[in-house]
Structure 1
């Protein structure tokens, strides 16, 4: 049986209150005389198997209290000292029940009405879903106990609060969002068909690597300065780098191609690093391959620098044998570095990097790369990223499924140190859009088993732009119509204090918990008319 009407004498802030829970029937009450008849609303007004009613009122008017009371009654756990009268419906037959109310009278127009008893109600199957965006840390949570005939699923943000930092929970919420968008698109709310993107901010990434590599390679010991200056090829390579960017950096024209720590640090400003980074990204065939190559280059530079800094003959001999000195390795690596960052030169991957490294000891350091168990996975992820990679400031690529999210997230979570600024994020989704995505995905999860449901949505539009509030009812209807099973019955009860929502519901679906507006119809009214009629607004005199 479906609860379709409730009258409560007194429960917390609710006093002598009528609550309509079905738009297909209309109850009129004169004191304790109840008359029930069919309304003018067709059974498929919203869609077959779907009915929507609303509780409207300002904060404190009793909307949440009404949900609490209705849920208690559905669970069979009637509140102490609460007098109420209720109508139920099943297969066109009306059942009525009174809890501690005497002297009532029931009539109907063309309907069969039968009294029902407490035991009968407690044997009726009821499935309740509750959702709300609101989080109130000091609120007292009402506990509804599940039983053989009553299930209560709280998918509100308040209920999930303690689990928000749990990684498994977060991934499950992401999975629900992707599952929803596979079935139902939220295009009217501006949510893209590709809901998630990866963003690595390429220029920042490459700049980070270049500055780190330069930090090691530009540390040229003073006692070697004179020796290094004899390497004219290095100076020529440095000149080519400087000359490539003279027209973009005015002060660069004054710099000379002299190999010394002071001169190199003066030449390579942040502006030059930024220009070089953009150029390298544009020249690379695969963005991730560029980062992998730079990551390897950084490792070699770091090890070379650290071996020299240790000054230990044993460690030094492990890295530099009799035929190769620290200086030759340093010069070799510095020359390769200038070649890599020269404008117009070929960007290599980690494998062909060895072609630039002629020193045997440096090549030996790279020898384990071919044996890496990650090599195939790295190639696959590089292909995946490059497939939709956009060479812009964010460096985004598409994440169009939960499987893709898991794939990328697992790679990023490994200790590969490749990305320094990487993030997975929703694709241009605002806080309002994300609140909708959260609400719809959680409701979608609970609609999938085909059970008949009573769904409470407490101020689901509260985080939305007015234009999205205006289409809120339309989108609810579209959503439930698309995700529900054809044989499933959904009784949706929403709360709101938005006039945009009120104007989209017929009066048969509306409960206004504010005496100033009871008896008025706002269906189809424009917003000016609603406010002009004083909906939830008090009058205020403005002094001149």
Structure 2
């Protein structure tokens, strides 16, 4: 559907007209609302989830209201979408076109795409609008960008870490093999999965299963490196086979040092250029083992290892993850995942914890040291009973400590260093004045802003100081000064409590902020402007470790997928179900596929590793790659819908074990004792004690019988 926006639909409308009017002809696209309004109930509303786009760029994901209102009968009835639409309405002008799309899968999920009236896309659809103000839009197939579906179907490599002469099939529809001696690639087409087996946008799913140490993580890393940046990351012979748009022919990209090009039927061969295009690659891992992923820049690394590695570099300190989580919490995917809204967020402050070492990084000077100690010795100025005042002072104090060290550090350049020298003098003046803590911090912040303005740093378009992934130094400084100036007023509308742990040099404070729609906007602004500060962190309260793992995974994935529109995605997930309760492990694949289907505008090829038989039971055998360490007989195991207890007991997992190794060894000793022809009174009592706590009724009966038979004459 489309609507040509009136001026009243935009952010330029008068104050009471804060939304987009939905004409009666378009109401059938939205949830059905009763028109039974009254003077006491003049408005009936329904909340919907909307993704806001400007042309092809995602602006925000919001929960908004679709409402029918009559103003108590004083005006003509009207349908309107209102609330949280500022990111789109403030960019709109009268005459712009709003494209309205409704999800075929989720009834309350919509997409609003704003097309500027002078844009190329608007020119392309003028003939479809044909002078109408609103209505249905029958777009040609090539009106909006379409994705090219490229799949990786096979990889072979001579050697990569612990993998030698290693093959990996990544397609359920065809299985390849490479004969190194004959230099020949062969393939065998598999039976197709039932139609619609995976949801919309999911092209294929492959799970890599194997024992610890078999190389599952190395295999996933190999996939990323073989597709992107192969020239600088792989140094042995290898080949990658792709399939594009379900063509019956395949493309083989090879990198051989001495051998001639490989051969094979229905395959086109060409040397590997280093990057396979068009294809997006995303890597996620929940595992933290200090392993550094040296991926090419074209691989989107969402792993915990990659995140911590970046945070430990002084030029990459921005906590963008929390911002993604806030956005994700207000999407419709939260309900489908079964996630609760956290009841609060906490800002953890380590201002005076000497074990953390606030002085250990960046520039440090005598005046900074004096300022630090002066604030530290004035607890009366920041009384805990005045929680909001203390929070404001702590944020301002840590901002000054960090920004001044950043300005004066050896890697900074002019005008930052000049500003640092100017602030050195101002610190001397402020400390000698005898002002209160609040007045001291306010004075220093004002002077810092004045120096930044006079040195034209507030207009800087560079990213050298903060090294933010999106915003310039000038943009960030302006936003930071504005936020810190408004901070006392902003916290007045928040419900904040305080918690302290440790004393003196080991003190740590937490400011707990109740999670509401009001605090949501505050937390977003706080994260955008202040999350670069060391010794201050944001976290959620009221979520289990499993819920946090879910939130971390899905917020990162949906954010990464939201900006993709023209090439398919190879998504590699290492141990995505790690830290989850078994019930959540059982739900993991279904929930993952649902979110990916809802969030992606392009086809997704999913490759994941796991130790869980719950995942194995969700996939047919042709969708599993079993790493070495298992016998050929494992290939005959039918897994889809298999009983998870049978899978646990099978060769893929426990083998002959029916319980944990500790109890297994104890019961083995017990069986041997029960087989003795004569037993002492103490030994018999020992056996009886074990039988009283044994959970396996059949084994208990067997041991009891053995004991009676061998000691019947005692």
Pairwise TM-score range, normalised by the shorter structure: 0.5 to 0.7
User: Secondary structure of 2:230's match?
Assistant: coil
User: What is the 5 A alignment of 1:3-22?
Assistant: 3-22=152-171
Q: CA deviation at 1:397?
A: 3.4
CA 1:375–1:106 in 2, change beyond 3 Å: closer, same or farther?
closer
Structure number with higher relative contact order (C-alpha < 8 Å, ≥ 6 residues apart): 1
Q: Per-residue CA shift, 1:42-95, capped at 9, x if unaligned?
A: 564222321221111111111112122222221262633334463534442322
User: Which runs of structure 2 are paired with 1:112-123 in the superposition (5 Å)?
Assistant: 113-118=266-271, 122=275
- Superposition RMSD in Å: 4.2
Q: CA deviation at 1:535?
A: 1.7
The answer for the alignment partner of 1:534 in structure 2 is 651
Unpaired segments ≥5 residues, structure 1: 108-112, 201-289, 297-373, 387-393, 414-422
- Report if the CA contact (8 A) 2:156-2:168 is conserved: yes
Q: Does 1:92 align with 2:247?
A: yes
Match among 172, 182, 194 for residue 320 of structure 2:
172
Q: Contact 2:342 / 2:515 at 8 angstroms: preserved in 1?
A: yes
3-state SS of 2:333 partner: coil
Distance 1:466 1:510 in 2: 20
Report SS of the residue matched to 1:64: helix
TM superposition shift of 1:155: 1.4
Quick check: 1:196 aligned with 2:344?
A: yes
Counterpart check, 1:399 vs 2:519: no
Q: CA deviation at 1:407?
A: 6.8
The equivalent of 1:495 in structure 2 is 609
Contact kept? 1:130, 1:156, Cα under 8 Å = yes
Give the secondary-structure state (helix, strand or coil) at the position aligned to 2:595: helix
Question: Given the alignment, which residue of 160, 184, 193 partners 2:307?
Answer: 160
**Secondary structure of 1:437 counterpart:** helix
- The alpha-carbon distance between structure 1 residues 115 and 431, as it changes in their structure 2 partners (threshold 3 A), is same
TM-superposed deviation, 1:492: 1.4
Indicate the SS of the match to 1:474. helix
Q: Is the 8 A contact 2:344 2:512 kept in 1?
A: no
Query: Mapping of 1:291-306 within 5 angstroms?
Result: none
Question: Contact 2:320–2:527 (CA<8 Å) still a contact in 1?
Answer: no
User: 1: CA distance between counterparts of 2:550 and 2:513?
Assistant: 24
Residue in 2 aligned with 1:125? 278
Query: What's 2:640 paired with?
Result: 523
**Greater CA drift, 178-187 or 96-105:** 96-105
| 1:362 corresponds to | none
Tell me, what secondary structure is at the counterpart of 2:553?
Answer: helix
**In the TM superposition, what is the alpha-carbon distance from 1:474 to its structure 2 partner?**
0.5
Map of 2:454 onto structure 1: none
- Per-residue deviation at 1:512? 1.0
Of 511, 518, 542 in structure 1, the residue corresponding to residue 625 of structure 2 is: 511
Give the Cα separation in 2 of the matches to 1:72 and 1:424: 33
- Where does residue 385 of structure 1 map in the other structure? 495
Give 2:569's match in structure 1, choosing from 417, 435, 453.
453
| Cα drift, residue 404 of structure 1 | 3.4
How much does 1:504 deviate? 0.9
Give the distance between the partners of 1:33 and 1:167, measured in 2 at CA.
Answer: 46
Q: State the distance in 2 between where 1:467 and 1:114 align.
A: 44
Q: Give yes or no for contact 2:323–2:524 (8 Å, CA) kept in 1.
A: no
Gaps of 5+ in 2: 1-149, 349-383, 391-483, 497-510, 532-536, 658-663, 670-714
Match of 2:703 in 1: none
- Structure 1 residue corresponding to 2:555, chosen from 441, 446, 450: 441
Equivalent positions of 1:74-89 (< 5 A) are 74-75=227-228, 77=230, 79-84=234-239, 86-89=241-244
Q: What's the counterpart of residue 316 of structure 1?
A: none
Give CA deviations for 1:194-240 in whole Å, capped at 9, x if unaligned: 5635799xxxxxxxxxxxxxxxxxxxxxxxxxxxxxxxxxxxxxxxx
Shift of 1:378: 6.4
Q: How many residue pairs get matched?
A: 350
Normalising by structure 2, we get a TM-score of 0.43
Residue 71 in structure 1 maps to residue 219 in structure 2: no
TM-score of the aligned structures, taking structure 1 as reference length: 0.55
Residue 181 in structure 1 maps to residue 329 in structure 2: yes
Do the aligned residues in 2 keep the contact of 1:199 with 1:397 (CA within 8 Å)? no
Instruction: After TM superposition, give the deviation of residue 433 of structure 1 in Å.
Output: 1.4
* Deviation of 1:495 (Å): 0.7
CA contact (8 A) 2:337 2:591 kept: no
CA distance in 2, matches of 1:167, 1:123: 30
Query: Structure 1's 52 and 382: CA in aligned 2 closer, same or farther, altered over 3 A?
Result: same
Q: Alpha carbons of 1:120 and 1:36: their partners in 2 closer, same or farther (altered >3 Å)?
A: farther
* Residues 427 and 375 (structure 1), Cα distance of their counterparts in 2 relative to 1, 3 Å cut: same
| Counterpart Cα distance in 2 of 1:409 and 1:67 | 32
When residues 4 and 89 of structure 1 are mapped into structure 2, their CA distance, relative to the original with a 3 A threshold, is farther
Structure 2 vs 1, CA of residues 459 and 292 (structure 1 numbering), >3 Å: closer, same or farther?
closer
1:232 corresponding residue in structure 2: none
Higher helix share: 1
SS in structure 2 at match of 1:180: helix
Q: CA deviation at 1:25?
A: 3.3
- 1:426 is displaced (CA, Å) by 2.1
The aligned residue for residue 584 of structure 2 is 468
Name the structure 2 match of 1:41. 193
